[in-house]
Amino acid sequence: MVPVDERERLNLFEQTVLPHLDAAYNLARWLAGNDHDAQDVAQEATLRAFRFFGNFRGENARAWLLTIVRNTFYTWLRKNRPQETMVEINDETLANEDALIETNAVSNSTADAELVRQAIAELPVEFREIVVLREMEGFSYKEIAELADVPIGTVMSRLARARKLLQHRLAAEFKPGGPS
């Protein structure tokens, strides 16, 4: 085995992983819901990434770092807010929401950022993470499936449900003549 040159390892880490610190913090911030906890999670995840940098195979550094952020967050969540893990949404409420949404026509405006922020924050955590990974980080379904360790079908159904819920909560925003 070739001993790893520490200096090179640090340089490589600074060049490949640290540029994605914004993405790490953004995901942690959306998952944890506040700045203080998000900083803790993002910092622990990044330092953990450095410790395990030897396992990184040079594919997608952003996806790799976010996988660690996600795992760090769920460990933190189980320890600090066990009641929040895995809230099931039943299909009946969704069917009702479907009915509500289909009748709405949209205006072309963009919904107010603060209202969108609230609507995302109210989503169950496993829906919220898919929305962040898809809409803010632009990962493909396949990348999200690997990152969140769920089948692609689950990514698709969670994304569809999350969008229905968001549309329902923002329905007033999207009505023609409603708030812009």
List contacts with other proteins (CB under 8 A). 2-3, 5-7, 10, 13-16, 18-26, 29-30, 35, 38-39, 42-43, 46-47, 50, 58-64, 101-102, 104-111, 113, 116-117, 120, 131, 134-136, 138-141, 156, 159-160, 163, 166-167, 170, 173-174
Q: Among residues 89 and 156, whose Cβ is nearest to other proteins?
A: 156
Distance CA 180, CA 116 (A): 12
Distance CA 85, CA 76 (A): 11
- Please, what is the minimum distance in Å from the beta carbon of residue 80 to other proteins? 19
- Please, what is the minimum distance in Å from the beta carbon of residue 83 to other proteins? 24
Q: Which of 66, 77, 54, 38 is nearest to 3 (CA)?
A: 54
Q: Which of 130, 162, 135, 160 is nearest to 147 (CA)?
A: 130
Q: Among residues 78 and 140, whose Cβ is nearest to other proteins?
A: 140
Contact (CB, 8 A) for 123 and 165: yes
